[in-house]
A and B are shown apart, each in its own frame.
Chain A
Amino acid sequence: MSTPIEATAILQRRRSSVEDTRSSGLSPEPRELSYAQAIQEAMAIAMERDERVFLMGEDIGVYGGAFQVTGDLVHRFGADRVMDTPISELGSAGVAIGAALTGLRPIFEFQFSDFSALAMEQIVNQAAKLRFMLGGAVSVPLVMRFPSGSGTGAAAQHSQSLEAWFAHVPGLKVVQPATPHDAKGCLLAAIADPDPVMIFEHKLLYKMKGEVPEGHYTVPLGKARLCRPGRDVTIVATSIMVHRSLAAAEELSREGIEAEVIDLRSLRPLDRDTLTQSVKRTHRLVCVYEGVKTLGIGAELSASIAESDAFDYLDAPILRLGGAECPIPYNPELEKAAVPQTPTIIAAVRDLIGGRL
């Protein structure tokens, strides 16, 4: 029968992966992984290092996850640590919270971030508040992963960017890594964090490749990243919009406009400092994010600048480029038009610099 062969293969794979992790410090050779692989590697490293870490989610076992993020992990770590849940978001989220409350470190995958709406009660009323309500007697070291965003033709109920909802809740931490490097580093930081961390992963990023260091490392939660310096305007972006903003900056640079691009990385805690410093240098701010524009993260960023020391340095109105005021449509052209695209960013910055806004 096939079982023994498979078992050997799994054993071998496990051994080699252990070596991978160990040799991390010694081999600085650059190595590319996809965003999904980087997350998978982070989960594997965490599970190797720490028995308390386990995964929960719908179809994350043999199916490998709807976006193949968990992939083969079930073969490496077994179904006890890569647990398929029934389609019971509210309940299973609560189960993860209970486990986290009492010594385990669950990583919970929502199949699509949209389904988190079903689990909102447990996340917002329980996970976020338990520590506070109990006067610090407990903590909830829970990690939740949310495949998010539009661009896949999955329409209104499978394409949302809901991160701002969660970022509005004290007690939760909310991060949006934009690169494979940060996806791994943020996840490992989230696992080490004693509080609930919500990680929003854009579905279109999963296949994106980038350099990912081997072994264990963390990216601090709550620290923005300056991806591109520039003197004329600060573009602060989240998730996939970082890449669109960088592409826009590249194009604008040909016209003599030097945009500074900041990857916010984390919505809560929010790195107001990096943003304020940047705006003081460039005197202009454009916020780019996929979530619906009104009452979204851009509102918070704009307000932060308006309240800060950087206010007196503004030489143009602050601009927000966010999702249109509608659900994500199915038709591909409409879908594209519903969220900022590279040309949208270019046009907006041109208008801003050209003094048309």
Chain B
Amino acid sequence: MGLEDVTLREKSVASGVRQLGRARPQNPSRDAVSMPSVYRRLSAESLRQALRKMHLIRRFEESAEDAYMRGLVHGTMHLSIGQEASAVGICATLEPTDYMTSTHRGHGHSIAKGAQVARMFAEFFGKEDGYCRGRGGSMHIADVSTGNLGANGIVGGGLPIAVGVALSMKKQRRSCVVVSFFGDGANNEGAFHEALNMASIWKLPVVFVCENNGYGMSTSTERSTAVKDVAERACAYSMPGIVVDGNDFAAVAQAAFDAVERARRGDGPSLIESKTYRIRGHSRSDRNRYRTKEEIEAWLARDPIVAFERELARLGFVSKSGIEAIRTDVECEIAEAIAFAKASPAPSVEELTRYVYSD
């Protein structure tokens, strides 16, 4: 991919932005073309695992929603239904030792990076077996064992931290890469700009992944952001800025491979803008006043899981029965996870102030 890559990178420097993926989000139709290179770079097993993870995310989100409605979950939650390809496509290119920071809409990122749904459900239910021992809940799930440094309740909160982790890797001469997920809304926080600048001047191994789902809560990017594509911001910090179809696994993974390799080579950060859509409301209290039914339905037709299944089946990586097996397997895992979470003990009130400081 070397030559092709160089050309693309040069182009990106010239225009600031390059496009990956064969379809713009606005145009869901897709022609059969030759097999994208990621299908060669990832093993058949990895691809099937990627599909499984996308299913697992989807079912996790749906079950979390269900549990919420049954009153098992306290507080609110931000579901990533519709954004599965973005999370899995990025994380498919990472090593377990690579790091990740995530957002309030982070369930998918956690699962994609390798978290166990049982412990995630336990966290949702506020239990001691949860990833945060019931202290953090939906918005703070982290799994340090898989390099997942956690979701974040603060928009843009993870970006500078990711840069710091990258600095740490570089100083320690560890070859790990750091991926920082954030939403389109975060690109207007000062933290975003400050983080990108520092990552660039110090040539740090960070991949900034903006999951642009069109809205920061209710405010569309058109109303909130001066540039058309968030990726254009990369230009200001002298790093590649790439727009990809976030609902297309291969497109996301392709961009991620490039950025991760560049980072690992020591050439510095990249900004990937993954254009996608959240099907559910922003949170449980969203009344969808700011968008139309038609818009939601158009995106429903572009379901990333359906598309990925179709592609894998077309390319012969998975059979119809194979897909069925993945679905039932995921169903099983979810059911067991919920049972585990329900049975897990609640934290003791006696330990209220534990973990505030390192003992």
Contacts and interface: CB of A to CB of B under 8 A. Distances in A.
A325 B289 contact: no
Instruction: Identify the 6 closest CB pairs spanning chains A and B, nearest first.
Output: A153-B75, A330-B137, A157-B153, A153-B74, A331-B126, A63-B218
Given A152-B76, A325-B353, 19 more contacts: A84-B219, A84-B223, A86-B219, A86-B225, A87-B186, A87-B189, A90-B189, A90-B190, A115-B154, A118-B190, A153-B76, A153-B137, A154-B76, A155-B137, A157-B154, A324-B352, A330-B126, A333-B346, A337-B352
Nearest to B188: A86
B136 A155 contact: yes
A337 B186 contact: no
B79 to A, nearest CB: 16
Contacts of A115: 154
Contact of B352 (A118, A157, A338): A338
- The DSSP consensus for interface residues of chain B is loop
A327 interface: yes
A64 B289 contact: yes
B181 to A, nearest CB: 15
A154 B75 contact: yes
A61 interface: yes
B337 interface: no
B347 interface: yes
B289 A63 contact: yes
Given A84-B223, A331-B134, A337-B349, A158 B139 contact: yes
Interface in A326-349: 326-327, 329-335, 337-338
A308 interface: no
Interface in B36-86: 73-76
Contacts of B287: 63
A87 B136 contact: no
Nearest to A91: B190
Nearest to A60: B218
A7 interface: no
Contact of B153 (A61, A158, A329, A335): A158
Nearest to B283: A66
9 contacts: A58-B219, A86-B216, A87-B219, A152-B75, A326-B352, A327-B356, A330-B134, A331-B126, A331-B346
Interface string A75-93: 0000000001011111100
Contacts of B123: 330
B145 interface: no
Contacts of A153: 73-76, 137
Interface in B248-290: 285-287, 289-290
Contacts of B186: 87
B338 interface: no
B24 interface: no
A9 interface: no
A90 B56 CA distance: 38
A156 interface: yes
Contact of B347 (A87, A91, A331): A331
Contacts of B285: 66
B119 interface: no
A324 B353 contact: yes
Interface of B: 73-76, 123, 126-127, 132, 134-137, 139-140, 152-157, 185-186, 188-191, 216-219, 223-225, 285-287, 289-290, 346-347, 349, 352-353, 356
Interface string A184-200: 00000000000000000
A334 to B, nearest CB: 6
Interface residues of A, number: 37
Contact of B135 (A61, A87, A114, A334): A334
A180 B219 CA distance: 29
Contact of B75 (A63, A155, A326): A155
A61 B224 CA distance: 13
A62 interface: yes
A86 B219 CA distance: 7
A260 interface: no
A89 B123 CA distance: 30
A215 B132 CA distance: 49
B188 to A, nearest CB: 4
Interface in A75-129: 84, 86-91, 114-115, 118
Contacts of B135: 155-156, 329-331, 334
Interface in A272-319: none
B158 to A, nearest CB: 12
A87 B76 contact: no
A337 B289 CA distance: 36
B75 A330 contact: yes
Nearest to B185: A87
Contact of B132 (A59, A330, A337): A330
B285 to A, nearest CB: 8
A59 B75 contact: no
B225 A329 contact: no
A155 B153 contact: yes
Given A59-B219, A87-B156, A334 B137 contact: no
A20 B326 CA distance: 62
A165 B359 CA distance: 27
Contacts of B189: 87-90, 118
Nearest to B140: A155
A89 B156 CA distance: 11
Interface string A31-74: 00000000000000000000000000011011110100000000
Contacts of A156: 135-136, 140, 153
A354 B132 CA distance: 40
Nearest to A331: B126
